[in-house]
Amino acid sequence: MIKFEILTEDKPTTELLVRKIIVEHFDGFSITKQSGYWRGTPENSICITIITNANDHNEIRDIARQIKALNLQESVYIVRTQVGLESV
């Protein structure tokens, strides 16, 4: 399994619109609010975490592109980490 994290600015309407984008592709995900910095300036940001298989990489990239356009950002980052999952 792969843990994808999409890092983006959290503007006033971002979270609601981001949720709408993601639920079209995935049943489960997490959104964590955090403080980020861009060029030394603090900004509100969110980290969207989606755990899925590697075959969904193109869907994750599509989601990131939509969020980038939504927030009018220069870039949105995707972090990809191989994970082992255990259900109890």
DSSP 74: S
pLDDT, residue 16, reads 87
pLDDT, residue 87, reads 84
Residue with tokens 């006033």: 12
Check if the beta carbon of residue 46 is closer than 8 Å to that of residue 33. yes
- pLDDT of 20-79, one tens digit each? 999 999 999 999 999 988 889 999 999 999 999 889 999 999 999 999 999 999 999 999
Q: Walk across the sheet containing 41-52 and list its strands.
A: 30-38, 41-52, 2-9, 77-82
pLDDT, residue 29, reads 96
Q: Does domain 7-82 have CATH number 3.30.1490?
A: no
